[in-house]
Amino acid sequence: MKSEPVSKPLAVKTATAAAVHLKTIGPEEAGQRLDNFLLRWAKGVPKSHIYRIIRSGEVRVNKKRAEPTTRLIEGDVVRVPPVRIAEPAQIAAVNLAQTKSRAQGYFEKMPILFEDEALLIVNKPAGLAVHGGSGIALGVIETLRMTRPELKFLELVHRLDRDTSGVLLLAKKRSALVELHRQIREGQTDKRYYLLAHGEIVQGSAVLQLKYPLHKYLLANGERRVRVDPDGLPSHTALRVIKAMRRGDFAITLAEAQLKTGRTHQIRVHLQKLGHAILGDDKYGHEEQDKAIKSKRLYLHAHLAVFTHPRTGEKMRIESPLPAEFTAMMKNFEIASND
């Protein structure tokens, strides 16, 4: 008989006998929705099947029918009809196959800008985190380690926000990593970003020097945020306006930001403080304006990295072109008359 591919979770077989399960909710499970509880407990069972047995009344809470959104409390007894639950080894095999497939898809959307025996420099797409964690299984580093298993050492030299695209440096040798970190620490690198900001930024004849102390903090849900705070760490962004554009009541500005320091969310918070938040910024931006002009992403792109090669001593200048989404957005606007 032909075996079924492990990449299809619906086809997972198990020797676990199907039987009615009575599960008493403990303190660690209390507060969950019924559907979420079952999806975690019955790993390997299709989501559609979980919802079907809830809606059909086969799942009972304290002998009564319940909705998928029912909140469970400690001491509740949940009756689950016979379902086949995958064994841990089978779940792991399925998950690994699916993860490898996703990694290959991410890798194909991440062009290599430069590579030699010491460095791997990629053009990171927007929406892909640089590393996994906090519910993110795959980031750039995990993707590259999975798709390039021959690389025995691979580490991020620096980071980009998940929704920021562009030049991202990785080291293939520990000595290269240490040397590049030294260059960054001593201000010997040059990193520049293109951005689209809300409104028309008035620059005048000089480059705008944005210097605001920044403080990191966490929201109640654990999400990271940054704000301008007198007690924060010093930060410095040099901002050069390239052109301002207008469409009806809306204006946007294409600018280049040069990092003088590298604080978390630095450019995004500096532009917010300036009164010209970056388009598509779901943390520090203008939600209604973004909806009105149909922002599709965070319009922040790391387009240039200048540094000294850690082995050869050569001056390196790695560039990434303006993304198509920027060009498409700007086509909807005309250059402001006073530009």
Give the pLDDT band of residue 93 (cuts 50, 70, 90): low
Q: Which residue has the tokens 């940054």?
A: 226
pLDDT at 134 over 80: no
Stretch 175-203: mean pLDDT, rounded?
Answer: 95
Q: Where are the domains of the chain?
A: 21-85, 86-188, 189-339
Which of 25-29, 46-50, 206-210, 278-282: highest mean pLDDT? 278-282
For residue range 204-217, what is the model confidence (pLDDT) as tens digits? 778 999 999 999 99
Chain mean pLDDT for the chain: 87
Give the pLDDT band of residue 337 (cuts 50, 70, 90): low
**CATH class belonging to 86-188:** alpha beta
For residue range 13-29, what is the model confidence (pLDDT) as tens digits? 444 445 788 989 988 78
For domain 21-85, the CATH architecture is Roll (3.10)
Stretch 143-160: mean pLDDT, rounded?
Answer: 92
Active-site annotation holds for 161: yes
**At residue 64, what is the residue type?**
K
| Least confident segment among 9-13, 58-62, 108-112, 243-247 | 9-13
Which of 17-31, 98-112, 225-239: highest mean pLDDT? 225-239
Give the pLDDT band of residue 85 (cuts 50, 70, 90): low
Does the pTM surpass 0.75? The reply is: no
| Least confident segment among 108-122, 172-186, 219-233 | 219-233
SS3 179: helix
Stretch 258-281: mean pLDDT, rounded?
Answer: 96
Contact 277, 198 (CB under 8 A): yes
Topology agreement, domain 21-85 and domain 189-339 = no
Element (H, E) at 268: helix 266-274
For domain 189-339, the CATH architecture is 2-Layer Sandwich (3.30)
Query: Cα(72)–Cα(58) distance, rounded to whole angstroms?
Result: 17
What's the confidence (pLDDT) of residue 99? 75
What's the confidence (pLDDT) of residue 161? 93
Query: Cα(151)–Cα(173) distance, rounded to whole angstroms?
Result: 10
Kindly name the residue from 161, 163, 281, 290 that is annotated as catalytic. Answer: 161
pLDDT at 121 over 50: yes
Alpha carbon of residue 245 to chain centroid: 29
Q: Which residue has the higher pLDDT, 309 or 109?
A: 309
- List, in order, residues 6 or more apart from 302 with CB less than 8 Å away: 124, 160, 164, 165, 166, 167, 168, 191, 192, 193, 320
pLDDT at 282 over 50: yes
Give the pLDDT band of residue 12 (cuts 50, 70, 90): very low
SS3 178: helix
